[in-house]
Amino acid sequence: MTSSTPSRGAATWTLLSLAIGSFGIGMTEFVVMGLLPQISADLLPDLTAADPEAAIAQAGWLISLYALGVVVGAPTIAASVAKYPRHRVMLGLAAALTLFNALTFLMPSFELIAASRLLAGLPHGAYFGIGALVAADVLGPGSRAKGAAFVLTGLTLANVVGVPLGTFLGQQLGWRIAFAIVAGIFALATVLIGLFVPAHAGDPDRTLRAELRAFGMPQVWFAIGIGAIGFGGFFAAYSYIAPVVTDVAGAPEWAVPIVLVLMGLGMTIGNLVGGHLADIDLKRTLLGGFVLFIVVQALLALTAAWIVTLGVFVFALGAITSALSPTIQSRLMSVAGDNQSIAAALNHSALNIGNALGAFLGGLVIAHGFGFVAPMWVGLVLAVAGFALALVSYALQERRPAAVPA
């Protein structure tokens, strides 16, 4: 089922190839958030002229549609391809990501771009889920969370470099240039995966029906709920960070990429630390991370009017939530038994349900006139709900330990 252990040099190139693809995914998922004002002005000019806040809220649908694509694609694709060689699956997913992001660059109208964003989200979860299994195999036994974290490193680095750079170039040259860059990154990843990811067998005994048995496990649903509702809190705040920087904190437009860099730095550090801590003590990392998440989300909402504190708490929010991401993925893989392919991908379905939920609810309160800080308070409520679900999940596990695989 697994490939032989590669040399250190070969392993490095394998992991780098996967991480470049995840860099592209991080950029395509998050660059929209920094460019909502430009996208709404270009694609919804009449609504922008009449009601700029409503136009930005409608442009936020592009975030939700991408997330919906991830939610639909992650379990269906991962479960359908579990029996096929993983290196070939990764190659096909990278090629699909290249094509669909090129469509976002090329399509002329809001409706067609919305369709392209839905399509671009479909391969996202399967890429991360199957890539995490390949990375864990390369890193060796006892490295489940570290493998997931390594593949996610590209995504978090995208928030340090790719998203701020794409936002800046989009502000200067038009928002479409960001997606031309994204398509180029995925094309590079496709070539590198073809060259450097070694043959990696799937599991010929796994079928779509077998993988879908994971949905009959209550703890799998709890883990999905923890990720979806909890991370909805993060995305409610992050989706509308650009107008918070300019309209609430009163900073100039060029400050938006700087704030995005701070978010990305926090995400990169948190992802690496979270993967390490989760392999040591999964429960404490998950519950302690949510407590910190709730505290920082509240402080962010209370101090958003000051650009310095906004930057500090955006950094902290990125670090804490990214530490939780590989932790939740490891939890899902732990409770899913033999259904590892779909479990690894379901984490990204969960997080992108959160993406869609947070962006939708955040846009809803903005459209109803509550202002750009209101999504942060929505996010706080969602973070508390995610923490409560985690507590219930572990309480039930303690009552029925035999129902949860080790």
Mean pLDDT of 219-237: 89
Q: How far apart are CA 325 and CA 230, in angstroms?
A: 10
3-class state of residue 32 by DSSP: helix
What DSSP string describes 288-343? HHHHHHHHHHHHHHHHTTSHHHHHHHHHHHHHHHHHHHHHHHHHHHHHTTT-HHHH
Mean pLDDT of 54-81: 85
Half-sphere exposure of 18 (CA within 13 A, CB side): 31
Looking at residue 366, its amino acid is I
3-class state of residue 271 by DSSP: helix
Determine the pLDDT at residue 191: 95
Interval 132-190: pLDDT, tens: 778 777 766 655 566 666 777 787 788 788 888 998 999 899 999 999 999 999 999 99
User: Which residues touch 343 (CB under 8 Å, ≥6 apart)?
Assistant: 129, 214, 220, 332, 333, 335, 336
Supply the pTM of this predicted model.
0.72
Interval 244-292: pLDDT, tens: 999 999 998 889 888 988 988 898 888 878 877 887 888 899 999 999 9
Q: Whole-number mean pLDDT of the chain? A: 85
Interval 89-107: pLDDT, tens: 999 999 999 999 999 999 9
Q: How far apart are CA 94 and CA 100, in angstroms?
A: 10
* Domain range list for the chain: 8-399
Q: Are 87 and 67 in contact (CB under 8 A)?
A: no
54 C-beta neighbours (distance < 10 Å), count: 18
pLDDT greater than 70 at residue 206: no
pLDDT greater than 70 at residue 403: no
3-class state of residue 203 by DSSP: coil
Residue keyed to tokens 């509702």: 229
User: Which residues touch 400 (CB under 8 Å, ≥6 apart)?
Assistant: none
User: Which residues touch 36 (CB under 8 Å, ≥6 apart)?
Assistant: 56, 59, 60, 239, 240, 242, 243
Q: How far apart are CA 87 and CA 283, in angstroms?
A: 32
Determine the pLDDT at residue 4: 47
Mean pLDDT of 351-358: 83
Determine the pLDDT at residue 96: 96
Determine the pLDDT at residue 406: 39
**What dihedral do alpha carbons 356, 52, 33, 251 form, nearest 10°?**
-140
- In percent, the amount of the chain with pLDDT more than 70 equals 90
CA nearest to 256, candidates 267, 240, 245, 247:
245
Residue 171 structure tokens: 């502000």
Determine the pLDDT at residue 115: 95
Interval 13-67: pLDDT, tens: 888 888 899 999 989 988 888 888 899 999 999 988 988 888 888 888 898 899 8
CATH 1.20.1250.20 fits 8-399, yes or no: yes
Q: Are 218 and 396 in contact (CB under 8 A)?
A: yes
How many angstroms separate the most distant Cα atoms in the chain? Answer: 61
pLDDT band at 193 (very low <50, low <70, confident <90, very high): very high
Determine the pLDDT at residue 76: 84
3-class state of residue 254 by DSSP: coil
